[in-house]
A and B are shown apart, each in its own frame.
Chain A
Amino acid sequence: MSNDATLPPSTGAHPDLIGGLPDGEQTEHFVAPFEHGVSFDELPDAPPKARFRPSLTGWIGIVIVAFWIAIAVFGPLLAPYGENDLPFPDDYSEFQAPREGAPLGTDVEDRDILSRIMYGAGRTIGIAFAATVMAYALGVVLGIGAAVSGPKVDMVMSRINDAFLSLPTIMLGLVVVAAVGSSIPVLIATAGLIYATVVFRLARALGMEIMVMDFVEAARARGEGRWWIITREIWPNAAMPLITDFGLRLIYVILFISSLSFLGLGVQPPQADWGSMVRENLGALQYGQSIIPVLAPALSIATLTVAINLIVDDVSAQAGGRLSKRL
């Protein structure tokens, strides 16, 4: 026996339609209603991909990073005092607690902490950004270059890179800066070179992964040259994970520059930068009226790096966690 097309649609169909008869025989034949002449189109493979929408934590990260970028750019214009101005020239006590005219108090030289944080923002973020850009320019070009080159070239480049990677970053930085002398261009170049090794590894791995994809082989089979394969086939597919990693790498470089400054080899006094501010004001922990002189620059570093991390995490989570696995 069978049912015919007059049955209600399957969505409303009762399970009994294909369920058991009283005698337990299962001979029912359910047919959904249909119209003649209706074609059945090929079904789409997957639901359309949703565009990136930051989650709450992502938005928090974006707001904080935007805030610090604004400070970095406009800080010197907005700061209540100059970088090395003394807000209270008549008051010789150092490490003053927050007071009228100096909302975050004063530092070891009695300068306004708020103003110095605002000046330092541009320097810290600017140096770190320049160094990361340099690390990427070097690392990506060489890394993808190694991936598309023959095994011998790749071998030589990778071993040289491994040798650099095996050196502790801070030690290497200390040695270079101690030998050449500290200046902002030297800082950028040192950090850029050190972090280029890490970027090289990532770019090479990504390049290798994409190199073996069929579409790259298709391009090779077509007769395309190396330049086309790098710029048109590999780079567009490596760009997204690399851009995400850029955020993470920026954090490491900020911490690296701050560490060097803290050790006295980074940004030199009297210029302000967050890392050197922490070091200059260490005395506040012991003698100061408040610990804000140390806490304020340290918190600045922390909020910026955590905020960048929040954005990167959000992007990578929405990419299905694939990015975070690679990084």
Chain B
Amino acid sequence: MQKTRNHGDRIHGDIVFETRDLRIGAIQPDGSEIRIVKGVDFQVRRGEVVALIGESGSGKTTISLSALGYAKPGLSFTGGEALLLGQDVTRMSVDELRPLRGISVAYLAQSAAATFNPSIKINEQVTEAPVLHGTKTQAEADARALELYRALELPDPETIGDRYPHQVSGGQLQRLMAAMALCGDPELLVLDEPTTALDVTTQIEVLKAFKKVIKEEGAAAIYVTHDLAVVAQIADRVVVLYNGEIKEAGPVEEVIDRSKHPYTTRLMDAIRPMPEAGQGDASSDEHLREAPALEARGVDAGYGGIDSSGRPAVPVLRDIDVAIQRGKTVGIIGESGCGKSTLARVYAGLLPAASGDIYLDGERLSPDLAGRTREQLRKVQFVYQMADTALNPRQRIRDILGRPIDFYRTAEGMTRRQRVEQLLEMVELPVQFADRYPHELSGGQKQRVNLARALAANPEVVLCDEVTSALDTIVAANVIELLKRLQRETGVSFVFISHDLSTVSSFADEIVVLYAGMVAEQGPTDRVLSPPFHPYTRLLVSSVPEPRVGWLEEAAATREAKAGASGAVTLTETGCPFFARCPLAIPGTCETVDPPTLDDGNGHVIECHRSLAELSA
């Protein structure tokens, strides 16, 4: 502890964590070193949130883990210091680190679902660390946990700890994980992308709770993220990282409003504009034909066996009518669990609809794969979210792209080799990549190969399931640009599924808003994003984080956010599923009667009991 005092002479404020020329690398068997973190200096003071921001591969997670004295398998601390409360944790043994971890420093992972043990009650897991370390008795820890449940605005704070992890919602579990981390009164919190996997409406609640509790507790925090908009809400200072080096660092207002380094500027540029009317990227009508390229009529679908009345055991989609015009992009938006991926799977034939029909060019398609002809299969291609699992790790790019060319005979006068090279050029990858395996590519490059495989079939419709969700802001922006260009050049239609409204609105001609398996609103992008709004659309629009300080407080104060915060998403047999979270709900009507379809003209429809005038207000 003497060391801390020495530093105190030099630097004001209580420094909780500090790195000095920190270097982390992977030592190869031949003795050479791959440098991951190349000399990083930053400090975290008491009561301060420092955001580490950068794309994947920038070393931000690796640096944040150094606060726990932990280097990922294969990596080791190769130089410099990481001082937690004045002690260099990079040189400590596991036995020396154990009393620090969970007590002096706590770690919040990205996925709460993976952090909690599903078969142990929540309270026991939240209070485990301080009780195990002997810093609190069980009773003290319980009291502390209750205090945190209240501070984090969790519902039923007295009893929520008695539940099992699967009995609370994702956003609640994320907050409970914060309670787990804070229960031992740590000096430093390390938060690794804690809201990245959440829906925007949930993200607001979680961010708000995190911010409040960090301020109240006066804890210091390292917040790792690639999302500048989130940083603007929660951080006091920002450290911008690229390739293991600090590119820019300073107070959040300085870095966001007056960024000086070109890399920070690029990060800012990659943020998509807020969803507003007038952004829709109206693509040309030259490819339009009379029949839509792909159409769903009255589709019901779900999982499990289908009962005698034609309803699946676990219904997911109810009465869906969505048409995709040729050469256009339809954005399907909704929270996780709303059925948007299921709809894409129904289109692709991977999940046969329980009732209703799919039409391709006006021709009825068989609901399952086996009943579709090879030509029909060729015309509808599916692109998966995770390129990591969508590409066979044992096949070279040449074979991954070559197979659909052979299978559907789409080489058209070219050799297979020429066609593969042409496809690689189309997705802006060097032709030499043909001989590589997927693991030799970066995340964005893999996603491009994933797209190229769909294009290899010369499809009419490409179903993109959250294709940019796993990518960093900059890489995602590049992929969207690529999609736009491909559409212009080939006239292919896209179904673009995402939970991110700003991505969809910058790109789609039409937007379909799904809620709990039903269409809440659909129409041209401009119309959907301007009044009248379905109450759920309004909630979504107001939940998209803006990269400016102070947005969070404003957004959390809107009536939509207040009404929408607590309710869980439930699929209902009748009535409007959004009833429980709707600020305009009419009790007695909305939950019992199916909402009527309000037509605003120009193909813009809203399913709601309120009138268009009321929804415009």
Q: Give residues in A with beta carbon < 8 Å to B.
A: 2, 4-5, 9-24, 26-32, 34, 36, 38, 40, 42-50, 53, 213-215, 217-218, 220-224, 232-233, 236-237, 320
Contact A18 B350 (CB under 8 A): no
Q: How far is the CA of A233 from the CA of B250 in the complex (A)?
A: 50
Contact A218 B439 (CB under 8 A): no
Contact A17 B369 (CB under 8 A): no
Known A2-B258, A214-B390, A221-B369; judge A45-B251 contact (CB<8 A).
Answer: no
- B263: CB under 8 A from chain A? yes
| Min CB–CB distance B69 → chain A (angstroms) | 19
- B412: CB under 8 A from chain A? no
Residues of B within 8 A of A26 (CB): 13, 45, 236-237, 251
Known A11-B245, A43-B243; judge A237-B394 contact (CB<8 A).
Answer: yes
Q: How far is the CA of A42 from the CA of B226 in the complex (A)?
A: 14
Contact A30 B250 (CB under 8 A): yes
- B169: CB under 8 A from chain A? no
Contact B251 A237 (CB under 8 A): no
- B444: CB under 8 A from chain A? yes
- Cβ contacts A to B, 14 pairs, < 8 Å: A14-B41, A20-B45, A26-B236, A29-B249, A29-B250, A30-B250, A40-B266, A46-B439, A47-B74, A53-B29, A214-B386, A218-B384, A224-B407, A237-B394
Residues of B within 8 A of A232 (CB): 392, 395
Contact A43 B39 (CB under 8 A): no
Residues of A within 8 A of B377 (CB): 221-223
Contact A10 B40 (CB under 8 A): yes
The answer, among B251, B266, B389, for a CB contact under 8 Å with A213, is B389
Known A2-B258, A20-B13; judge A223-B393 contact (CB<8 A).
Answer: no
The answer, among A38, A218, A237, for a CB contact under 8 Å with B382, is A218
The answer, among B11, B20, B444, for a CB contact under 8 Å with A42, is B444
The answer, among B20, B247, B382, B440, for a CB contact under 8 Å with A10, is B247
Contact A18 B58 (CB under 8 A): no
| Min CB–CB distance A297 → chain B (angstroms) | 38
Mark each residue of chain B from 337 to 354: 1 if its CB lies under 8 Å from any CB of chain A, else 0: 000000000001110000
- Of all chain B residues, the one with the shortest Cβ separation from A29 is B250
Q: How far is the CA of A13 from the CA of B246 in the complex (A)?
A: 10
| Min CB–CB distance A229 → chain B (angstroms) | 11
Residues of B within 8 A of A32 (CB): 245-248, 261
Residues of B within 8 A of A18 (CB): 41-43, 237, 239, 249-250
Contact B442 A11 (CB under 8 A): no
Contact A42 B445 (CB under 8 A): yes
3 A-B pairs closest in CB distance: A43-B57, A11-B39, A29-B250
Q: Give residues in B with beta carbon < 8 Å to A.
A: 10-13, 18, 20-21, 26, 28-29, 34, 36, 38-43, 45, 55-58, 73-74, 236-237, 239, 242-243, 245-251, 254-255, 258, 260-263, 266, 348-350, 369, 372, 374, 377, 382, 384, 386, 389-395, 403-404, 407, 439-445, 453, 457, 474-475
SS of A interface (majority): loop
Known A218-B453, A221-B348; judge A20-B248 contact (CB<8 A).
Answer: no
The answer, among A15, A24, A34, for a CB contact under 8 Å with B43, is A15
| Min CB–CB distance B561 → chain A (angstroms) | 31
Residues of B within 8 A of A220 (CB): 350, 369
- Of all chain A residues, the one with the shortest Cβ separation from B236 is A26
Contact B350 A221 (CB under 8 A): yes
- Of all chain A residues, the one with the shortest Cβ separation from B377 is A223
Residues of B within 8 A of A46 (CB): 439
Further 5 A-B residue pairs, CB within 8 A, beyond A15-B20, A47-B26, A221-B377: A31-B247, A40-B263, A40-B266, A42-B55, A237-B394
Contact B246 A45 (CB under 8 A): no
Contact A223 B369 (CB under 8 A): yes
The answer, among A29, A38, A43, for a CB contact under 8 Å with B255, is A29
Contact B57 A45 (CB under 8 A): yes
| Min CB–CB distance B292 → chain A (angstroms) | 21
Residues of A within 8 A of B28 (CB): 50
The answer, among B21, B242, B439, for a CB contact under 8 Å with A40, is B242
- Of all chain A residues, the one with the shortest Cβ separation from B54 is A43
Residues of A within 8 A of B12 (CB): 20-24
| Min CB–CB distance A7 → chain B (angstroms) | 11
Contact A222 B404 (CB under 8 A): yes
| Min CB–CB distance A160 → chain B (angstroms) | 26
Q: How far is the CA of A224 from the CA of B439 in the complex (A)?
A: 24
Contact A223 B73 (CB under 8 A): no
Contact B13 A24 (CB under 8 A): yes
The answer, among A12, A23, A28, A43, for a CB contact under 8 Å with B442, is A43
Q: How far is the CA of A189 from the CA of B522 in the complex (A)?
A: 66
Residues of A within 8 A of B475 (CB): 42
Known A2-B260, A43-B58, A237-B392; judge A48-B440 contact (CB<8 A).
Answer: yes
Residues of B within 8 A of A218 (CB): 382, 384, 390, 453
Contact A214 B389 (CB under 8 A): yes
| Min CB–CB distance B94 → chain A (angstroms) | 18
Known A2-B254, A11-B38, A220-B369; judge A30-B26 contact (CB<8 A).
Answer: no
Q: How far is the CA of A217 from the CA of B348 in the complex (A)?
A: 11
Contact B262 A34 (CB under 8 A): yes
The answer, among B10, B248, B384, B404, for a CB contact under 8 Å with A30, is B248
Most buried by A among B11, B369, B374: B11
Q: How far is the CA of A218 from the CA of B350 in the complex (A)?
A: 9
The answer, among A4, A50, A222, A236, for a CB contact under 8 Å with B395, is A236
Q: How far is the CA of A210 from the CA of B59 in the complex (A)?
A: 31
Residues of A within 8 A of B390 (CB): 214-215, 218
Most buried by A among B236, B266, B442: B442
Residues of B within 8 A of A237 (CB): 392-394
